[in-house]
Chain A
Amino acid sequence: MRQPSFARTALAPIILGLAVVLLWQGAVTAFAIKPFILPGPFTIGQQFGANIDNVLAGMAVTGRNALIGLVAGALLGILAAAVAALARVIDEAAEPIVAALAVVPIVALAPVLYTMFGAGAETARQIVAGLAVFVPVYVNTLKGLRQVRPIHRELMQAYAATGWQATRTVTFPTALPFVFTGLRIASSLAVISALVAEYFGGPLGGLGRSITSSASSSNYGLAWAYVLGSIVLGLVFYCAALAVEKLVNRRTGG
Chain B
Amino acid sequence: MSVEPSVDLGAPVDTALAVEVINLSRVFTGRKGATVTALDNVSLTVRPGEFVSLIGPSGCGKSTLLRLIADLDTPTRGTIAVFGTSARQARVNQAYGIAFQQAGLLPWRTVTGNIELPLELHGAGKAARQARAAELLDLVGLTDFAASYPDQLSGGMQQRVAIARALAESPRLLLMDEPFGALDEMTRERMQNELVRICGETGAAVVFVTHSIPEAVFLSDRVVVMSPRPGRIRDVLPVRLGETGKRGENLREEEAFFRAVRQVRELLHGEAPDRLRGVETR
Contact = CB atoms under 8 A, between A and B. Distances in A.
B100 A152 contact: no
B94 A159 contact: yes
Interface in B257-273: none
Interface string B108-141: 1000000001101110000000000000000000
B107 A254 contact: yes
Contacts of A253: 107, 151
A254 B150 contact: yes
Contacts of B118: 159
Contact of A160 (B91, B102, B108, B117): B91
Interface residues of A, number: 19
B98 interface: yes
A97 B122 CA distance: 42
A169 B91 contact: no
B13 interface: no
Contacts of B121: 159, 161, 165, 169
B149 interface: yes
A170 interface: yes
Contacts of A160: 91-92, 94
A158 B104 CA distance: 13
A151 B104 contact: yes
Count chain B CB atoms within 10 A of each CB in A154, A158, A160 and give the residue with the most.
Answer: A158
A158 B67 CA distance: 10
Contact of A159 (B102, B108, B122): B122
A47 to B, nearest CB: 48
A152 B100 CA distance: 11
B106 A169 contact: yes
A173 interface: yes
Interface of A: 149, 151-152, 154-155, 157-161, 165, 169-170, 173, 176, 251-254
